[in-house]
Structure 1
Amino acid sequence: MTRPRTVPVRGGRRRHELASFLRSRRERITPEEVGMPSGSRRRTPGLRREEVAQLAGVGVTWYTWLEQGRPINASAQVLDAVARTLRLDAAEREHLYRLADVPQPPPATDETHALPQDMRTILDNLDPLPAALLNARSDVLSWNQAFAALFPGMVNTPAAERNAVWFVFTTPPCCNPILNLEEQAPEQVAIFRYRYSRHLHEPEWQEFVQRLCKASPEFARLWATHDVAPPRPCDKVFRYPAVGDVATRSTNLEVTALPGARLVVYTPVDDESRERIAWLRDHPEATAPDHRH
């Protein structure tokens, strides 16, 4: 019989927590819930280790060692099978990956785009401040009316292409409202790489970077510098022919209800910019492009 391959011991406390966590999740599931006979000789509540292994399609020895907190390899695919068998919710699944020291794959699309009602209320009540909800990769998930007025070219694209970084680097100069792009572009790429470093093993992120490098020579050039910077407020100036320049400061607020998501709010830095945002919000046609590419 092939024994599970061990790896160097790392994070002993974490492995101990992993063992306790798996045991507690296993013991809360009854055999009847998974279509197994309950039997009369069970000494512990819930499922047995061999039953979890059988349902997850993994070796009994491997699962036993995992639950004992031994330093063995665990792949994302196998952890997913264990998570499904133990009926873990999104938070528990993330916790499992963290304790097993395995990079977590992105959540399913429906989880990523599920918008709690309170977030919709917050976005609407921030108006007339432009605000949007973005995920870690900067996909734009939802927005308010003021944001739509400032960025019609972004919100009116198909959902699969609705990405703030993609918008910055692929929008033609005639339609790109960012006035201080030369200053902002390096910072945007450095912050994006900071987030990217947490998703190195995720194919969706790798494919996105490859596509953007092909679509934008400027992004490819900046990406090759390997500059990195933590997220921070940014000064962004937009120019709209109908009103002139709009100076803002963008602030990112983490949304704990949606792991990886953040609320981006654009605050005008002066009264003139505030009045211009309000006017554009009431006249959204003024920022709509008058031509197509």
Structure 2
Amino acid sequence: MMKALYSGVSGLRSHQTKMDVIGNNIANVNTYGYKTQRATFRDIYYQTISNPSQASDGIGGTNSSQVGYGAKIGSVDTIHTLSGYSPTNKETDVYINGDGYLKVVDASGNYFYTRYGALNFDSSGQLVDSNGSIVMGLNGEEIAADNVDIDEASLTAIKIDIDKFSNITINSDGTITGVGLDSTDAATYNKVTTLGLIAISTVPNQAALKLEGSSYYSAGNNTGTITYHAAGLGGSGEIVTGGLEMSNVDLANEFSDMIITQRGYQANSKIITVVDEMLEQLVNMKR
């Protein structure tokens, strides 16, 4: 009888965690770049009452008898499916049309990966995201965007001399171009010049990325070797400017999961109530 009580408690805890995951998904239904999560259950432990026996002459075989002790959370997985493009009409907003992440570095020197492409050039010409972290890539005028691989050691914080160039544009391959304003520089004056390149990070096992909040992920032990490319190469998606990636939360799925989870919680709470009534009856047998 007490086993059923513990099973009910474990079921309540598991369903509470699943509801937490569902609630977080719904809260982030309009969060740009958010990837939905799911919680799965698994059984815990079984007490063996009798072991199976093998059939012999004149005696049939028997099966094992086991009693379980409830359920627990098996995993909380992030679903990294590509979501839709949401136009913002801001030229420095970027949407990665396929697999890939931006690599950024914060003020403390921590490196993160993100698909939230709300970017800006700050007053010093650094390409930063909405948290103030600097986007990583290549700087300089001589950049071959058709090179598939970019050495990680060569990545730098992207910085543009915004006072010397106008019409600064982020292109579909991640290159950053501008028109030279310095009349003393014949090589760039009044010419479209490549100023830098945004590196797109390709993660072999996206499910192993660790959620850090603020639309950031960090690399884990099971992500595999992360490689860097120009957008559209090396398995990464091209960049589309003027928009951001929508959340991939499916509200219909979340609400149906919410109902199922609520009923599961209700059923497990009923187990506890019934066991409590049975224990009360047992205690009251002798008066």
TM interval, shorter chain, is under 0.3
TM-score, normalized by length of structure 2?
A: 0.21
Structure with higher RCO (Cα < 8 A, 6+ apart): 2
TM-score, normalized by length of structure 1?
A: 0.21
Q: Which has the higher helix share?
A: 1
* Greater C-alpha radius of gyration: 2
